[in-house]
């Protein structure tokens, strides 16, 4: 096992003193030291990136966290201390090699002071489903962390290979939320993941414009393509779509169903997906992360990275359709852009004023939000 450690200094942990008022008399309760089970997670950043020969694990924490040990394991709920793969100071990194093949490796960052953090590479690196990734591993504004291995987002599972399906089966997926239309599902049905159930949650209904676009593209109708997508209409189509996902009657009702499913811990781990895993799934992911307290900048980062994971797939589509439609017309539809997600957030503000009021509109009450946070956040 090879690793390159980087280490920092440490300081003593503060002792909390609990004061209680009993029958109007001020009394002093015994001091409670903040230990592994009660302290906050000290890490302000943590990333895992799979490389050609292993994994790069990096972290940042205040110097008060002290030295950090890094453990590797294949069970996110019990990484264990049997396989220590590196160590470093409160801010540092290690390059891990020599791990045996496994469906997924998780890394536990164990500081001298404070609670440990389990994290992993967001991407599952599935060749047949390139946009399949974990939305866990992000830090919230108040210092908590979204748990890994609970919620996944993906592009269509109709292309899932047997080898990649075996990987997903090993993750223990309980529920697959298929956010596509009935037409999409009937033409490209999901490959079943053994051990999971599949629920159709049609976010947008059957939009006639989709049929028009499909006919115009496959038929090579240049005039219709220009009418539907030219002069900035393609970009505007996605901007308007971003707004509709927030306030449209059908999306509101269907996202309400979706949120009710992930509120049930018996449905976790859950996979949510549409065709490309970027628009309907993109807003579902953004809404969940925002509800959990993840900063908007991080939510945007998670949204935009679909362009990286889908690049090879989109390049292939552009190549195959080059004779049928101009690249400039279809590329805005295949990609995600900052203005698309900004349109959704702007619609939340315009229609509901606050994000909590939007959540209430999709059935996420204050109690339900607290339940989600308790289930999906660490620390």
- 92-128 residue pLDDT tens: 999 999 999 999 999 999 999 999 999 999 999 999 9
Burial 54-67 (b: 16+ CB within 10 A, else e): bbebbbbbbebbbb
Give the H or E element holding residue 330: helix 327-334
Residues 145 and 293: beta-carbon distance below 8 Å: no
Using DSSP, how many helices (H) and how many strands (E) does the chain show?
14, 18
Strand 197-200 with 175-178, pairing? parallel
The Cα 367–Cα 66 span in angstroms is 36
Instruction: Give the residue among 196, 153, 176, 195 at the shortest CA–CA distance from 287.
Output: 153
**Residue 198 to residues 19, 201, 295, 340: CA-CA distances in angstroms?**
51, 10, 31, 28
Residues 6+ apart with CB under 8 A from 250: 202, 203, 204, 205
- 311-366 residue pLDDT tens: 999 999 999 999 999 999 999 999 999 999 999 999 999 999 999 999 999 999 99
Chain position carrying tokens 């005039």:
223
> Region 275-296: what's the mean pLDDT?
98
> Region 163-188: what's the mean pLDDT?
97
Is 1-121's fold the same as 125-378's? no
Q: DSSP E strands: which ranges in the chain? A: 15-16, 19-22, 25-28, 32-33, 45-50, 54-60, 68-73, 84-88, 92-97, 106-111, 117-119, 133-134, 145-146, 151-154, 175-178, 197-200, 270-273, 377-378
Q: What would the two tokens of residue 122 be?
A: 């967001």
Q: What would the two tokens of residue 63 be?
A: 């110097």
Any idea which of 7-11, 14-18, 172-176 has the lowest mean pLDDT?
A: 14-18
* Paired residues of 56 in beta bridges: 49, 95
Planar angle of CA 192, 193, 196, nearest 5 degrees: 105
Integer-rounded Cα radius of gyration of the chain:
23
Instruction: Give the residue among 375, 351, 370 at the shortest CA–CA distance from 361.
Output: 351
pLDDT of residue 210: 77
Planar angle of CA 339, 241, 359, nearest 5 degrees: 90
Give the domain 1-121 fold: Immunoglobulin-like (2.60.40)
> Region 54-79: what's the mean pLDDT?
98
Provide CATH code, domain 125-378. 3.90.190.10
Instruction: Give the residue among 152, 121, 146 at the shortest CA–CA distance from 281.
Output: 152
- Grouping H, G, I as helix, E, B as strand and the rest as coil, residue 188 is coil
Domain boundaries, the chain: 1-121, 125-378
| 164: pLDDT strictly greater than 70 | yes
- Grouping H, G, I as helix, E, B as strand and the rest as coil, residue 138 is coil
**Residue 24 to residues 20, 21, 27, 51: CA-CA distances in angstroms?**
10, 6, 9, 62
Name the average pLDDT for the chain: 90
Residues 241 and 125: beta-carbon distance below 8 Å: no
Chain position carrying tokens 């989600």:
372
């Amino acid at each position: 096992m090879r690793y390159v450690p980087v280490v920092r200094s440490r300081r003593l942990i503060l002792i909390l003193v609990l004061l209680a008022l009993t029958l109007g008399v001020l009394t002093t309760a015994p001091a409670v030291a903040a230990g592994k089970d009660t302290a906050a997670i000290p890490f302000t950043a943590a990333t895992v990136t799979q490389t050609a020969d292993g994994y790069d694990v990096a972290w940042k924490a205040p110097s008060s966290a002290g030295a950090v040990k890094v453990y590797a394991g294949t069970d996110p709920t019990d990484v264990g201390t049997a396989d220590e793969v590196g160590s470093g100071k409160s801010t540092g990194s290690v390059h891990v090699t020599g791990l045996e093949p496994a469906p997924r490796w998780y890394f536990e960052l164990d500081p001298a002071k404070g609670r440990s953090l389990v994290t992993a590479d967001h991407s599952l690196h599935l060749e047949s489903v390139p946009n399949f990734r974990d939305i866990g591993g992000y830090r919230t504004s108040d210092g908590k962390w979204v748990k890994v291995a609970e919620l996944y987002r993906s592009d269509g599972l109709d292309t899932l290979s047997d080898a990649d399906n075996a990987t997903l089966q090993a993750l223990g997926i309980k529920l697959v939320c298929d956010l596509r239309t009935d037409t999409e599902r009937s033409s490209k049905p999901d490959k079943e993941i053994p051990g999971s159930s599949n629920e159709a949650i049609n976010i947008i209904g059957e939009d006639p414009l989709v049929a028009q676009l499909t006919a115009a593209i496959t038929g090579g109708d240049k005039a219709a393509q220009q009418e539907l997508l030219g002069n900035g209409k393609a970009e505007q189509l996605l901007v308007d779509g971003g707004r509709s996902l927030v306030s449209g009657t059908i999306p509101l009702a269907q996202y309400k169903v979706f949120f009710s499913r992930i509120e049930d811990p018996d449905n976790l781990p859950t996979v949510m997906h549409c065709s490309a895993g970027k628009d309907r799934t993109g807003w579902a992911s953004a809404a969940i992360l925002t509800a959990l307290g993840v900063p908007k900048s991080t939510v945007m980062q998670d949204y935009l990275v679909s362009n990286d994971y889908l690049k090879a797939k989109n390049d292939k589509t552009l190549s195959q359709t080059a004779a049928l439609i101009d690249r400039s017309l279809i590329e805005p539809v295949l990609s995600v852009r900052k203005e698309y997600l900004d349109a959704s957030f702007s619609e939340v503000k315009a229609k509901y004023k606050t994000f909590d009021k939007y959540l209430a509109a999709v059935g996420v009450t204050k109690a339900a939000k607290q339940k989600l946070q308790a289930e999906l956040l660490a620390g």
